[in-house]
C-alpha cells in the first residue's frame, strides 16, 4: 500500500475523505440511518409542501423536500415526523420562484438547490424570463454559502432550469429544459455555459432531470427530445456526460430493449443499489427502472415501468421517485396545487402521499439480463 492510499484510508476512517471513488465507498459514511418506516405508503403533513423532489441526508438522517410553489426547502425528520421550513430570503414566496431540484452530496454534507422561474413551465417554453438560482447550502449550520444568479449568464434567452449534478471538484452542472442546456457553476459560484442551447427555439423541451455518478465524474440526464409535456406519450432518452471535459458532450445511453417512455422528469440513483439502478419519473405513467450492472452507464437494461395507479389525491403526476432512509424507494405523489390560496403561492393542501415502491423495484431487479 503506497503512502497516498494509506493517507486516503486514514482520512476515510476519520470520515473526512471528501470524494471517495468506487461504488462500494461512494456514500462514505460511518453508520447507517435506522429505517424510519415499516414497509408501506406514508402521508406527509405539512401545509403547502407540494413536493417536487427530495434528497436523503445519509449523515444527519433527515430528508429535504423541494417545496415547489413556496420556493423553499422543508427538512423532514422521519423519526419525529416534524418539518422545519428552510426559507431563502428574497426567493421564498416571491412570485414565479419554484424550488425544483436538489442534490445532497454525502461526502461534503452540502445541498445544492435549483430555484427556477416558473414562467417557462407555465408557457411550455414560450416565456423564459425570470430569475433562476443555484444555491449552495450547509444544512448542519443552516447557512447559505452562496447563490448563483443563472439568469446573469443566460440574459434571459433560455431557461427552465430544474436539476443539478456534481463532479468531484465541487463544480455543479445545472440542466435547462427550454431548450436543453447545461450551465457549470464552479466551486466558488462562478457560472459558465458548458453545454449551450442547440437552437434559439425555446419551446423545444430538453433536459428535465440529472443525477451525479459519484466516483466517476459523470452525470446522466433525461432528455425529452423536443416532445412537449402536454403530449401524453413522449420519446425520452438518457445521456451520459463526462464532467471532466471542458465543454459538455452528451453521449446517448442505449437501452435494451429500446422501450419508449416519457415525458420523463427526474432521474435518481438510489444509494441502496450503489449507482447500478436508475429510477426515472415518467410524468403521466409512473417510474421507469433501468439497470447498468457495472454502474458505468455506458448502456442500460430497460427493466420496466412501475405504474402510478395509486389513488388520486388531487392530480396524478409523477415528478420524482427517490430513496428515503437506508433502503426504501418512494414515488412522490402529487404536486399540483389547485386554486392558489390568496396571499400565498400555493394551494390549500396539507397532506402529501409517498408511495412505497420498494417491492416493485426489487421484483424488476430479479429479471435476468
Ligand atoms: C400503497 O398503496 C397502494 C394503493 O392503495 C397499494 O396498492 C400498495 O400495495 C401500497 N403499498 C404498500 C407497500 O403497502
Ligand atoms: C409555505 O408557505 C406557507 C405560507 O404561505 C407556510 O405556512 C408553509 O409552512 C410553507 N410550507 C413549506 C413547505 O414551505
Ligand atoms: C439576476 O440577473 C439578472 C440578469 O442579469 C438581473 O436582471 C436580475 O436583477 C438579477 N437578480 C437579482 C436578484 O440580482
Ligand atoms: C383551506 O382548507 C381549510 C380546511 O379545510 C378551510 O377551512 C379553508 O377555508 C380553506 N381555505 C381556502 C382558501 O380554500
pLDDT digits (tens, 9 = 90+) for 208-228: 999 999 999 999 999 999 998
Q: Which residues contact 240 (CB under 8 A, 6 or more apart)?
A: 213, 218, 219, 220, 250, 251, 253, 297, 298
Q: Cβ < 6 Å from ligand 4: which residues? A: 341, 348
Query: Ligand 1 pocket check: which of 35, 38, 39, 40 to mutate, most ligand atoms within 8 Å of Cβ?
Result: 40
The answer to whether residue 337 scores a pLDDT higher than 60 is: yes
pLDDT digits (tens, 9 = 90+) for 269-286: 999 999 999 999 999 999
With b for 16 or more beta-carbon neighbours within 10 A and e for fewer, the 84-94 pattern comes to ebbebeebbbb
Residues, the chain: 369
Check residue 200 and report its DSSP letter: S
Per-residue pLDDT tens over the stretch 114-165: 999 999 999 999 999 999 999 999 999 999 999 999 999 999 999 999 999 9
Cβ-based neighbours of 9, under 8 Å, separated by 6 or more? 1
- For cell 445521456, the residue is 239
> Which ligand 3 atom is nearest residue 90's CA?
13
For the CA of 67, the nearest atom of ligand 2 = 13
Q: Which residue has the cell 426504501?
A: 328
Q: pLDDT (tens digit, 9 = 90+) per residue, 81-97?
A: 999 999 999 999 998 99
- The pLDDT, as a whole number, for residue 293 is 97
Q: Which pairs count as long-range contacts for 169-173, CB under 8 Å and 24+ apart, including other chains?
A: 170/108, 171/243, 172/103, 172/112, 172/134, 172/136, 173/210, 173/219, 173/241, 173/243, 173/248
**Class in CATH terms, 32-365:** mainly beta
Ligand closest to CA 70: 2
User: Would you place residue 30 in the very low, low, confident or very high pLDDT band (cuts 50, 70, 90)?
Assistant: low
pLDDT band at 190 (very low <50, low <70, confident <90, very high): very high
Pocket test for ligand 3, best of 129, 131, 146, 148 (most atoms within 8 A of CB): 131
Residues above pLDDT 90, as percent of the chain: 83
d(CA 44, CA 206) in angstroms, rounded, equals 31
38 lines ligand 1 (CB under 6 A): no
pLDDT in tens, 216-260: 999 999 999 999 888 889 999 999 999 999 999 999 999 999 999
The terminus-to-terminus CA distance of the chain in angstroms comes to 36
pLDDT for the residue numbered 279: 98
CA of 89 to the centre of ligand 3 (A): 15
pLDDT score at 367: 78
Q: Could you tell me the residue ranges of all domains in the chain?
A: 32-365
Question: Measured between alpha carbons, how far is 26 from 21 in angstroms, rounded to an integer?
Answer: 6
**pLDDT at position 369:** 63
70 CB less than 6 Å from ligand 2? yes
pTM recorded for the entire structure: 0.91
Q: Is the CB of 360 inside a 6 Å radius of any atom of ligand 1?
A: no
In this prediction, residues 301-321 reach a mean pLDDT of 88
Amino acid at each position: 500500500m503506497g503512502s497516498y492510499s494509506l493517507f486516503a484510508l486514514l482520512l476515510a476512517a476519520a470520515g473526512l475523505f471528501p470524494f471517495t471513488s468506487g461504488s462500494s465507498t461512494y456514500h462514505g459514511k460511518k453508520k447507517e440511518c435506522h429505517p424510519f418506516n415499516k414497509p408501506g405508503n406514508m402521508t406527509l403533513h405539512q401545509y403547502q409542501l407540494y413536493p417536487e423532489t427530495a434528497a436523503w441526508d445519509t449523515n444527519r438522517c433527515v430528508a429535504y423536500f423541494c417545496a415547489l410553489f413556496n420556493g423553499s426547502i422543508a427538512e423532514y425528520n422521519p423519526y419525529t415526523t416534524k418539518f422545519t421550513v428552510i426559507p431563502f430570503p428574497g426567493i421564498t414566496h416571491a412570485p414565479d420562484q419554484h424550488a425544483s431540484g436538489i442534490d445532497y452530496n454525502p461526502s461534503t454534507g452540502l445541498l445544492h438547490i435549483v430555484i427556477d422561474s416558473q414562467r417557462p413551465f407555465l408557457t411550455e417554453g414560450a416565456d423564459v424570463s425570470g430569475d433562476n438560482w443555484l444555491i449552495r447550502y450547509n444544512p448542519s449550520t443552516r447557512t447559505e454559502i452562496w447563490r448563483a444568479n443563472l439568469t446573469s449568464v443566460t440574459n434571459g434567452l433560455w431557461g427552465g432550469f430544474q436539476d443539478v449534478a456534481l463532479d468531484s471538484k465541487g463544480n455543479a452542472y445545472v440542466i435547462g429544459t427550454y431548450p436543453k442546456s447545461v450551465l457549470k457553476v464552479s466551486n466558488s459560484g462562478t457560472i459558465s455555459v458548458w453545454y449551450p442551447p442547440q437552437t434559439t427555439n425555446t419551446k423545444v423541451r430538453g433536459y428535465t432531470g440529472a443525477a451525479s455518478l459519484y466516483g466517476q465524474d459523470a452525470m446522466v440526464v433525461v432528455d425529452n427530445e423536443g416532445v412537449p409535456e402536454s403530449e401524453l406519450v413522449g420519446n425520452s432518452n438518457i445521456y451520459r456526460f463526462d464532467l471532466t471535459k471542458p465543454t459538455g458532450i452528451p453521449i446517448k445511453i442505449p437501452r435494451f430493449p429500446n422501450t419508449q417512455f416519457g415525458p420523463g422528469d427526474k432521474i435518481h440513483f438510489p444509494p441502496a443499489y450503489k449507482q447500478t439502478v436508475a429510477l426515472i419519473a415518467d410524468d403521466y405513467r409512473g417510474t421507469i427502472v433501468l439497470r447498468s450492472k457495472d454502474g458505468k452507464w455506458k448502456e442500460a437494461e430497460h427493466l420496466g415501468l412501475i405504474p402510478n395507479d395509486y389513488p388520486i389525491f388531487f392530480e396524478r403526476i409523477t415528478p420524482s421517485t427517490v430513496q428515503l432512509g437506508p433502503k426504501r424507494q418512494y414515488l412522490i405523489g402529487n404536486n399540483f396545487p389547485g386554486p392558489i390560496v390568496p396571499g400565498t403561492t400555493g394551494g390549500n393542501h396539507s397532506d402529501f402521499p409517498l408511495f412505497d415502491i420498494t417491492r416493485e423495484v426489487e421484483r424488476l431487479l430479479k429479471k435476468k439480463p
